[in-house]
Amino acid sequence: MKCVLMNKNTEVLVAEYNEISKFFDKIYEVNNIDYAPYILKSFYIKDEINDTPFRTNLSEWFKGRGIPSWRDKLDLLLLRLNITAPYELLDKAFGLSLSDQYWLKPEDSDISYDDINFFDNDFDYAEFMEASLSTNSKTITNETSLKTPNNTTDGMLKKAWIIDNGIRYLLKGGYKNETLQPFNEALASEICKRLGFNHVEYTIDTYKDTVVSKCPCFINKETELITCYQIRNDMKRHDSIEDYEEYIKKLEENGIENAREKVENMYILDFLIMNEDRHLNNFGIIRDVNTLKWLDVAPIFDNGQSLNIEYYDEEELHISGCGRLFYEVKPFDEIIKVVKNIKRIDISMLDGVVEWFDELLHKYQYLTGYSDKRILRLCILLNRQINKLKKLIEQ
């Protein structure tokens, strides 16, 4: 299929898309490389667009928009969707997403972005949500249920986009038999709210007796999320603090105000909740898709892998842990050192947050089955981290 890769209403390139392999067999022309997915620009060399790595990376980028192979209970989801692989969903809805404005337009089609984008246009989600989050679900037979932004969601957790009172929300469950992720998201939101950090607001909800987190989409039809991974892709890798410093410099060069402090806020949160999974695809910047102006650091999101979630043992309280600082895995006590002025934090704003978390966990204890011992240990960990931050501030 000959098609045009679009960024909202701007033609990026014309290519031959193989609907069977889901790869691009040929690129005919590149019209606006500046409007291409950010990660592709570093591979672009004029007159070599069909040579590797540009065409290959275009194909990999598009395939990477699909549900990943490591999604929890993926086999069951595919069975319910009546497909054999996640990439089969990619062209069901033009490759549209709620994280950016890229889509594939058949060359002979007169369809417009306004007709199909998921920011303005409603979509069926009930069957997909059930297939993703329910313990029991039937096979989807309605083809319109596959024309949703759920086709282009990343990450390992079971999730689904829904529409509630006109607002696009993402629901996320726990991982396998663990259900702490939604509570960690809610805790992160509460901490950010108290400390004044820009963040995505997560709340706790339930779906068929399953605890889920619920957050609004933080992208609109004029913007896109560009992850740190994309930005760092064309920069030298050092495996040291230099990677962090070069990233901050890049943000500042592109006009983002208070970039260092905003990124520091994310690592302060990670220290407080012991977030083990701050990988390069769950933070970044927001860019205007019309002007290509870098607008701001993305609000803090995706904080579920926290509070020693990987190491919980009913018989032992694990108090150690490591997080991620770009390409390095380091103890949280080391990562927090990137914060230049820790004394700017008013730690008193966290007074009572441990009790707030304890109450939240007990409220849903009838669904999670958490023992009082586990809830106590989670609160002990949180309280310990708050006190450690307090001591750093008072030094």
The residue count for the chain? 395
d(CA 282, CA 262): 14
Alpha helix stretches (DSSP H) within the chain: 54-63, 74-81, 113-116, 126-133, 180-195, 228-232, 241-253, 259-273, 332-335, 353-363, 365-368, 372-394
Q: Give domain status of residue 18, yes or no.
A: yes
Whether residue 267 is found in the same domain as residue 372: yes
Model confidence at 83, pLDDT cuts 50, 70, 90, reads confident
For the residues 1-24, what does the mean pLDDT come to? 94
Q: Give domain status of residue 121, yes or no.
A: yes
Least confident of 20-29, 131-140, 266-275, 307-316: 307-316
Domain boundary among 185, 216, 247: 216
CATH number at 78 reads 3.30.200.120
Model confidence at 78, pLDDT cuts 50, 70, 90, reads confident
d(CA 359, CA 365): 10
d(CA 341, CA 337): 10
Burial of 364 (C-beta count, 10 Å sphere; 0-12/13-18/19+):
middle
Domain boundary among 165, 188, 216: 216
pLDDT digit string (tens) for 148-157?
Answer: 999 999 988 9
Mean pLDDT of the chain: 93
Tokens representing 339 are: 């914060």
CA 335 centroid distance within chain? 21
Tokens representing 21 are: 């392999």
Q: Give domain status of residue 322, yes or no.
A: yes
Domain boundary among 199, 216, 233: 216
Neighbour tally for 209: CB within 10 Å: 9
User: Which strand (E) or helix (H) includes residue 170?
Assistant: strand 167-172
Whether residue 298 is found in the same domain as residue 342: yes
The pLDDT of residue 173: 93
d(CA 8, CA 389): 44
Q: Give domain status of residue 68, yes or no.
A: no
d(CA 266, CA 286): 15
d(CA 312, CA 247): 34
Dihedral of CA atoms 160, 224, 285, 196 in degrees, nearest 10, equals -60
Do the beta carbons of residue 46 and residue 131 sit within 8 Å? no
What lies within 8 Å, CB to CB, of 63 at 6+ separation is: 22, 23, 87, 90
Whether residue 56 is found in the same domain as residue 159: no
Phi/psi at 167 (5° precision): -100, 135
Model confidence at 303, pLDDT cuts 50, 70, 90, reads very high
- Exposure string of 291-302, with b = 16+ CB inside 10 Å and e = fewer, is eeebbbbbbbbb
pTM: 0.94
Check residues 318 and 118 and name the one with the higher pLDDT. 118
Model confidence at 342, pLDDT cuts 50, 70, 90, reads very high
Do the beta carbons of residue 289 and residue 255 sit within 8 Å? no
Q: Could you tell me the residue range of the domain that residue 51 belongs to?
A: 2-63
CATH number at 361 reads 1.10.1070.20
Q: Give domain status of residue 94, yes or no.
A: no
Whether residue 117 is found in the same domain as residue 80: yes
pLDDT digit string (tens) for 227-248?
Answer: 999 999 989 999 999 999 999 9
For the residues 310-314, what does the mean pLDDT come to? 66
d(CA 231, CA 296): 14
> Residue written as tokens 């009082």?
372
C-alpha closest to that of 187 among 274, 276, 258, 122? 274
Whether residue 232 is found in the same domain as residue 355: yes
Whether residue 368 is found in the same domain as residue 293: yes
d(CA 102, CA 18): 18
Whether residue 237 is found in the same domain as residue 209: no
Whether residue 192 is found in the same domain as residue 271: no
What does DSSP assign to residue 149? G
Work out whether the CA dihedral 305, 160, 131, 24 comes out positive or negative: negative
Whether residue 286 is found in the same domain as residue 161: no
Q: Give domain status of residue 102, yes or no.
A: no
Measure the CA angle with vertex 300, ends 297 and 305; round to 5°.
Answer: 140
Q: Which long-range contacts (CB under 8 A, 24 or more apart) does 29-36 make?
A: 32/7, 34/292, 35/7, 35/10, 35/289, 35/292, 36/5, 36/7, 36/12
Whether residue 212 is found in the same domain as residue 240: no
pLDDT at 314 over 70: no
Model confidence at 376, pLDDT cuts 50, 70, 90, reads very high
Q: Give domain status of residue 104, yes or no.
A: no
Q: Give domain status of residue 41, yes or no.
A: yes
- CA distance from start to end of the chain: 64
Whether residue 204 is found in the same domain as residue 231: no
Whether residue 236 is found in the same domain as residue 317: yes
Total tally of structural domains belonging to the chain: 3
